[in-house]
Structure 1
C-alpha cells in the first residue's frame, strides 16, 4: 500500500514566500498540508505523547455538524480515556504507523488503513507502540426513537470492495464502511477514489456537509465559484449546498477520506 498522507509538521524556512493555497470562505475552506506546522498544534488533557492539528470544529460560519483532527502519537503515546463527551460518536482512520485500540475491553490492532467506528458512550482506549498518525472524526450522535444505536466495529480499507459509480468504468469509486441503508447511522466516513483523468462531472449541490482529507494524489476541485488545486495532506470543508466537482489530474490515483452527515431530518435554528 502507498503511504497515506499525514501532517508534515516542522516549520517553513524564513526564505519561503507568504503566498499559499489556504482559503477560508463562507461556503468552503482549504487547509493545505503546508500550513499544518509545529506552531498550530493542540494538546488535550488525559493523553500522553500526543499532539493534533484541528482541521474542523463546530463554529459559526464553519463546520456545523462535526469535529475532525489529525492526531500524532509518539512511541508509547495514547490515552485511556480519549473521548470525554458521552454523546459523541467517532471514527478513527490510521494514516501512518499502527494503533492498539481497545473497545469495550476487546483489543484490536489497527495498521495503516485501519478503521474503527466508536459509537456514543462506548469505552475505548488507544496506544501506539512505535508512533502513529490518525484521522479522528467526531459528531454528536442524534438518537431516533425506535432505532437502536449502532454498534462499534473495526475494519480495514483493503477489506472493503470499491463500489464504482454508474457509468464510470471504475474510474470513480467509493469504499463504504457502513451500509447506506442502515438508518441507525447519522454519519458516513468513506474513502472516495478517482483514477487519473476521472471526474465528478457535475456540480454536486446537496444538504450534506463535508469534510475531505486527501490521502493520496492531487486534483483540481471546483468549490462554489472557484477552482482550487489540492494534494495529499490537504483538508477541505464544504458547507451544505456548496457546489462541488472534481478533476483528477494524475499521475496516480486521487483518494480522500470523506465525512458527511446523513439519515436525519435537518433541525431548526433556535428561535
Structure 2
C-alpha cells in the first residue's frame, strides 16, 4: 500500500541537539522533516480549523516562480474562499485523510493520492467532513498568460491512475508520473511524481533552466545539490534554483519517491526598459 510522508508537528524536547541537516545556500535549500514543528506553522484568511507549513515562497535568493504549502485541515475545517488571487493556478496533492472538493460546480471526494489541477480564476471550495485530520500539498504559481493560448482546464485524478513513464535505458529503475501532458503548451508548470527503485540513480548532474521544489514522499536517497551530496528522507523538502546541478542515488530498502515542481513552456522573463 502506498504511503506518503506528513509532518509530525509537535515540539522536540529541550534535551535534543540543535545540529541538523537544515541548510540554506545561494543554490539550494534543504528543510528536513524535523524543522516542521508546531511553532513554524501559519494561518490563512477564510480557512477554518486549518494550519500550514510554508516551505517555499517567492523571495530574493530563494523561490522565484512558486509557493508551496503543506496544509493540515482538522475535522470540520476548510474554506469557501481558498484562493484570493485570481491570477494564481494551483496543484493540490493529498497525502493524508479525506477532503470534499467542489471545483467549477463539480463535487469530488479526495483521498490520499488525489491530485487536482486548479486553473486561474477557478471557483472552488475544500472541506474536511471526516473525523480525522487531512493533509495536502498546495503548490501555487502566477499563471503566465500568452495571447492566443487558453489556460488549461481543471482536472482531478489520482496517483494510482497515472502510470510512470520509464526513463530511457533505466529498465524501470527510474520512472516519472506525468499528471499533465508534457506536450500541452497551455501548462506553464508541471507537478509530477518521480520514482526510483532501490539503487536507481540520476546518473549525471542535471543542470537546467527549470526551478524545482522537491518534497520526499517516501524512502531515502543521497542527493547531489550543487557541489554537495546530502542525505534526504521521507518528509524532507528541497528547493533548487535554476541551473543548480543535481543527481541522486536511491538508498533503499524501499522506493524513493518525490513530488516535483518545475516551471515550463514559457520564454525567460526579461527586464526590458
1:53 aligns to what? 53
1:1-20 Cα offsets, whole Å, 9 max, x none, are 23201111000111100100
What SS does the corresponding residue of 2:202 show, helix, strand or coil?
strand
Question: TM-score normalised to the size of structure 1?
Answer: 0.99
* CA 1:270–1:234: 2 relative to 1, 3 Å: farther
Task: Provide the C-alpha distance between the structure 2 equivalents of 1:65 and 1:36, rounded to a whole number of angstroms.
Answer: 22
What SS does the corresponding residue of 2:193 show, helix, strand or coil?
strand
Task: Provide the C-alpha distance between the structure 2 equivalents of 1:249 and 1:7, rounded to a whole number of angstroms.
Answer: 21
What SS does the corresponding residue of 1:102 show, helix, strand or coil?
strand
- By how many angstroms is 1:269 displaced? 3.4
Does 1:107 find its partner at 2:107? yes
Question: What does 1:97-246 align with in structure 2 at a 5 Å threshold?
Answer: 97-130=97-130, 131-246=133-248
Q: Aligned residue pairs: how many?
A: 271
Task: Provide the C-alpha distance between the structure 2 equivalents of 1:267 and 1:218, rounded to a whole number of angstroms.
Answer: 35
Question: TM-score normalised to the size of structure 2?
Answer: 0.98
- By how many angstroms is 1:270 displaced? 6.2
**Structure 1: runs of 5 or more not aligned:** none
2:259 aligns to what? 257
Task: Provide the C-alpha distance between the structure 1 equivalents of 2:261 and 2:221, rounded to a whole number of angstroms.
Answer: 18
Task: Provide the C-alpha distance between the structure 2 equivalents of 1:7 and 1:69, rounded to a whole number of angstroms.
Answer: 12
Task: Provide the C-alpha distance between the structure 1 equivalents of 2:248 and 2:271, rounded to a whole number of angstroms.
Answer: 32
- By how many angstroms is 1:158 displaced? 0.2
Question: What does 1:82-101 align with in structure 2 at a 5 Å threshold?
Answer: 82-101=82-101
Task: Provide the C-alpha distance between the structure 2 equivalents of 1:6 and 1:80, rounded to a whole number of angstroms.
Answer: 24
- By how many angstroms is 1:32 displaced? 0.5
Q: Indicate the RMSD between aligned Cα atoms, in angstroms.
A: 0.8
What SS does the corresponding residue of 1:158 show, helix, strand or coil?
helix
1:45-68 Cα offsets, whole Å, 9 max, x none, are 100010000000000000000000
**Structure 2: runs of 5 or more not aligned:** none
Task: Provide the C-alpha distance between the structure 2 equivalents of 1:167 and 1:233, rounded to a whole number of angstroms.
Answer: 29
What SS does the corresponding residue of 2:148 show, helix, strand or coil?
coil
